[in-house]
């Protein structure tokens, strides 16, 4: 009799932002998962077969054959997970937990949870200060020496990328099924956050020293590295840091220190108040709607397209009449 393997939660966050480190903690507490999945970013597992680089990464990251992954893609989401986990971890005890970790779930958090809803309902999002994220992205692209120049040359693209992930989860800051974890505090208060995770998931977890050789290469140590919290500060100039904070100020609640969160909070607070007013004015009290078959989050839509807020537009009607045809993101 085949065991019905299903994950019990997902992990999302910024690329290079701590998702793999968090995953290692769960692995050392008896959970299982491959490096990355990403199937919930697709309308169905069948469409995942052409969704790269995720499909190709999953072959190597989960040590799957083309045949086994292709077969899983013929199933619905529950069947997909069951076949994939069975192929990758079929020799483990069925009582062990499983999870699906993919950073990009943060960018489409509501839609990903909606697709996962017959299987699981909880998500853990780990976020990080934009200066650290920009530094990591730039270092990966050009090496340490050229990070300031790279960031300045690509500031708009990097800022838009960072903000797109913030906007993707803005509708869920008050969602009891989503736990947001600040990377900087997670690293410095690991045991305390392990308690939060235990309560959130309804599990008993204990702090277990990570393996001397982590499963995946971009976790480089068997302990928390405090130097990684603000390692960017020795390399990024003050001017570069100020520009990053200014350009991502809508996401000030993700800034790592209280002073900057307060200093730059005005843009978010102002937009948030206007969005709340519009949603109340149009009687849009639900977290999401189905609009002509499309999953739609009014709050997220208004944050992604603040020009609509300026003109006091009904987000549902705009999406139905214009947004769908214009290719606007509804969540």
DSSP, collapsed to helix, strand or coil, labels residue 273 as helix
Strand partners, 295: 290
Which helix (H) or strand (E) segment is 36 a member of?
Answer: none
Backbone phi and psi for residue 145, each to the nearest 5 degrees, phi listed first: -60, -30
- Determine the length of the chain: 331
- The alpha-helical segments, DSSP class H, found in 28-96 are 45-48, 54-61, 66-72, 77-89
β-strand 289-291 against 294-296: which pairing, if any? Answer: antiparallel
pLDDT of residue 208: 54
Residues of the chain with pLDDT under 70: 1-4, 91-96, 205-230
Alpha-carbon span 201 to 16, nearest angstrom: 24
First to last CA, the chain: 39
pTM of the model: 0.92
Which helix (H) or strand (E) segment is 197 a member of?
Answer: helix 190-201
Alpha-carbon span 238 to 244, nearest angstrom: 10
Contact indicator for 77, 119 with CB cutoff of 8 Å: yes
pLDDT of residue 248: 98
Alpha-carbon span 105 to 92, nearest angstrom: 26
Strand partners, 179: 124
pLDDT of residue 1: 41
User: Domains (ranges, CATH) in the chain?
Assistant: 9-129+173-228 (3.40.50.300), 267-326 (no CATH)
In the block, residue with structure tokens 């950073």? 103
pLDDT of residue 2: 52
Which of 100, 132, 99, 114 shows the shortest CA–CA distance to 14? 132
């Amino acid at each position: 009799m085949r065991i019905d393997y299903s994950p019990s939660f997902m992990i999302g966050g910024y690329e290079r932002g701590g998702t793999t480190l968090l995953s290692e903690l769960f692995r050392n507490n008896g959970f299982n998962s491959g490096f990355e999945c990403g199937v919930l970013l697709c309308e169905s597992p069948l469409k995942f077969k052409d969704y790269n680089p995720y499909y190709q990464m999953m072959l190597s990251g989960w040590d799957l054959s083309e045949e086994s992954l292709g077969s899983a893609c013929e199933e619905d989401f529950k069947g997909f997970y069951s076949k994939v986990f069975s192929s990758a971890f079929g020799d483990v005890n069925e009582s062990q937990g499983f999870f699906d970790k993919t950073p990009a779930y943060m960018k489409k958090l509501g839609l990903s949870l909606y697709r996962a809803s017959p299987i699981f309902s909880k998500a853990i999002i780990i976020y990080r200060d934009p200066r650290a994220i920009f530094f990591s992205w730039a270092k990966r692209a050009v090496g340490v020496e050229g990070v300031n120049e790279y960031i300045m040359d690509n500031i708009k693209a990097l800022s838009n990328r960072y903000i797109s992930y913030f906007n993707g989860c803005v509708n869920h800051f008050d969602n009891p099924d989503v736990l947001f974890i600040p990377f900087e505090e997670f690293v410095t208060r690991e045991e305390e956050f392990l308690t939060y995770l235990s309560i959130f998931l309804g599990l008993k977890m204990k702090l277990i020293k990570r393996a001397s050789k982590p499963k995946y290469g971009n976790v480089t140590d068997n302990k928390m590295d405090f130097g990684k919290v603000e390692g960017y500060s020795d390399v990024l100039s003050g001017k570069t840091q100020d520009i990053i904070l200014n350009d991502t100020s809508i996401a000030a609640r993700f800034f790592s220190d209280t002073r900057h969160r307060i200093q730059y909070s005005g843009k978010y607070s102002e937009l948030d108040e206007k969005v709340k007013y519009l949603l109340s004015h149009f009687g849009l009290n639900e977290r999401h709607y189905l609009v002509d078959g499309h999953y739609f989050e009014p709050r997220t839509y208004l944050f992604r397209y603040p020009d609509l807020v300026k003109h006091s537009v009904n987000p549902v009607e705009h999406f139905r009449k214009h947004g769908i045809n214009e290719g606007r993101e509804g969540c």
